[in-house]
Structure 1
């Protein structure tokens, strides 16, 4: 590079994207006989490292470890109303299988484990041990190849040289002091901005500060990586005013305290009124829209799942209740209403109207069964069973933020693009820091793309820093 560097490559973030990028870079350098200094900067301490990835089950939208699910590219484009970057998605699909095989080689096993979706449209391959298994295995392999992991360090500004290439990184360490690192390339893999009240208000809007991150890792995603790239002319992409949402129990402090049994029950608002067709489709294809509706449309941003003892007859219902808090239970609907703060007359009327609308048919929790409730607004398309077997039960539900959609535009090599669609020399982004999603989230793609583009960007960054002319890179 013609100058003394503190690090040839710095990766910001120790999640799936960051650890994949660092390990990919270390392996590429070793294969090319290059002795490069590579570091990961992580805001959290060791015990809390890994961002969202550490806490997630890491569902993968894969038919098997080598093949993406059917209609992968078209589904992702359709869900985004064709706003998403097709070449990015096509590259993701082409590299998904080889990347998961690469992760498997590092010691991560994959299997079709039970999920919280009792009914689903697309397959979900999972790493055994969840996202933490990915983080632990990839980071251990990276460390063995000489990658430094520096904890409790936060980057806050990128410096460019006279040619507009990344050359410096300002880093604030624990205690408040700031360091100026001389670097050759920078890979931004620091998640989104769900942990920033300021950015959530700026892009999501009023009361966005009340939307809790789905897990502890999200609180560390404060958006600096996105902001500092935008500040040097990077292009933003993805739907900045939207986020991937999940319905969770507000009483629980555990990660991903999801309540996914509601398709077999009814949902009411704090006035005791139904507001959605709970059985409109399989749970994996509808829960995000329901969670968003709870936040955007309902008074107090809260809903309640109402059911009875028949819920406990549903096979594997426990898998769909990720919360660690028990159901709220009462012998009468009036008593249940009092416990959850809903008008008793309204809740009783809602349940009675629903029961009267339930049509005959055979209930089947494993597939769309066509067992409907009709003549009421909204109707219920599947899994309509009467609520009449006391004790009655309720679970409160609020909207949580799994990740934000807005991020940085990149090409298929992971290079961050300027507002004029030119790569910014030496700057890369992977995972949620890179924007992609619009509209409806295509489940099982976020960790997958983090791994794929982390691996791609790490290898490309090595080629960039070892080519003195930087021509064609």
Structure 2
């Protein structure tokens, strides 16, 4: 007979990738009419489950429910300077529509809801209720098919049989004791390592502990999934010294407290000087680079958006200011400078120089308008309007970590690869645990790939455990 297992398939992590894996596996088992025991292990308690996915709006780079955005594959390859795995991205593009239809069929609705991007170069489709709606719906459906979800349980070590196939898992439970599970296959869906200060320092570098996670869900992503697999010889992929960044208000405790109105105004550093072309392109294509620059290049890792009452004239400006903290307001630039701790004479000089450099032209808030500020360094390419309508406003902005880019190398079924590019038997990685991104993040692809490869890995894991059970009978 086949060996006894506690669970045939264990999925580590209860976010979009993990719940998609577990549900897909449960459906494949039902279709094959096989009794396959499946469990999800989740480090958090029920109220905090879902990792990063729980907090995200879950933007999808889709033209509609069936078609990915134009130039999907080429954009993703170009953003990575061609370091990303093309076959993986082509698989993502090919399966995105059918996967979203599968998610819709489970009860998640999708719509073109308003986003924080007042200007965007690629469309964004969203699930109604965000990532949490996906996690709740898929986990409920998985539970209905017999999947167990075990909360407050952290996997910390993979075990192998004599032939190098994954056959066990060490799991630490609440209180600190550890138990050993006998398993048939493991799907690692435990996110990246943004919640692990030591790994952040190791890979991202100095002061990485100062980069806040974009939402508290990120704090649960401590990198064990990646480490466990590396310890048994897995290959890695994705840029380990980088992460997807977003500019947020450091005063706010809420998730994704983004400030995305800066293209219409100016950004200054602690010395009151501009450091970037704020209007270089649409907000969805530039916010990450700005956030990164604030962290890597600026004293104190902080910038300030300096604007005026014209912000309130921009239609839907509230969508682009997701912080729950009010603007810092002052009647004069000197008073504003004092409130934010920036040299008053320098801030006044910066605004005066910028205003003088603004060229005539028609301002269009909703598209690149070519209205420039020239003859200053750096120049401003679009949306250059004078800052002269008091009272003046400021928002502090820091860089936050949405997710880390470094992870495990997998094939298009989510199977984790060895350094020799062989699939490690019984081991899968999906979502941010699988490395993909280098350089600039192609917005709206992360949740999408979690769902697509979660679904693929779950189905493949079932065929794998059925095969290995047959061999041992």
Q: TM-score per shorter chain, which class?
A: over 0.9
Deviations 1:34-64 (A, max 9, x none): 1111000000000000000000000000010
Question: How many residue pairs get matched?
Answer: 471
The secondary structure found in structure 2 opposite 1:62 is: coil
Matches within 5 A, 1:345-356: 345-356=345-356
CA shift, 1:468, in A, is 2.7
Distance 2:342 2:329 in 1: 14
Matches within 5 A, 1:329-408: 329-408=329-408
The secondary structure found in structure 1 opposite 2:52 is: helix
The secondary structure found in structure 2 opposite 1:286 is: helix
Distance 1:146 1:2 in 2: 22
Distance 1:390 1:470 in 2: 76
The secondary structure found in structure 1 opposite 2:267 is: strand
Matches within 5 A, 1:228-307: 228-307=228-307
CA shift, 1:2, in A, is 1.6
Q: Does the aligned pair in 2 maintain the 1:170–1:179 contact within 8 Å? A: yes
Distance 2:187 2:469 in 1: 20
Q: Does the aligned pair in 1 maintain the 2:2–2:469 contact within 8 Å? A: no
Q: Does the aligned pair in 1 maintain the 2:20–2:458 contact within 8 Å? A: yes
CA shift, 1:70, in A, is 0.5
Distance 1:265 1:44 in 2: 41
Q: Which runs of 5+ in 2 are unaligned?
A: none
Say whether 1:134 aligns with 2:134.
Answer: yes
Q: Does the aligned pair in 1 maintain the 2:14–2:51 contact within 8 Å? A: yes
Distance 1:365 1:232 in 2: 52
Distance 1:469 1:109 in 2: 38
Distance 2:310 2:98 in 1: 45
CA shift, 1:467, in A, is 0.6
Partner of 2:200: 200
Partner of 2:431: 431
TM normalised by structure 2 equals 0.99
Matches within 5 A, 1:164-175: 164-175=164-175
Distance 1:325 1:203 in 2: 32
Q: Does the aligned pair in 1 maintain the 2:9–2:187 contact within 8 Å? A: yes
TM normalised by structure 1 equals 0.99
Partner of 2:446: 446
Q: Does the aligned pair in 1 maintain the 2:8–2:38 contact within 8 Å? A: yes
Distance 1:271 1:42 in 2: 45
Partner of 1:42: 42
Matches within 5 A, 1:23-42: 23-42=23-42
Partner of 1:455: 455
The secondary structure found in structure 2 opposite 1:181 is: strand
Deviations 1:170-207 (A, max 9, x none): 00000000000000000000000000000000000000
Partner of 1:105: 105
The secondary structure found in structure 2 opposite 1:41 is: strand
Distance 1:198 1:432 in 2: 18
Distance 2:192 2:399 in 1: 17
Distance 1:301 1:441 in 2: 21
Deviations 1:440-461 (A, max 9, x none): 0000000000000000000000
Root mean square deviation, CA, Å: 0.8
Deviations 1:363-407 (A, max 9, x none): 101000011000000000000010011100000000000000000
The secondary structure found in structure 1 opposite 2:419 is: coil
CA shift, 1:469, in A, is 7.2
Distance 1:285 1:400 in 2: 17
Distance 1:175 1:453 in 2: 33
Q: Does the aligned pair in 1 maintain the 2:310–2:389 contact within 8 Å? A: yes
Distance 1:256 1:153 in 2: 27
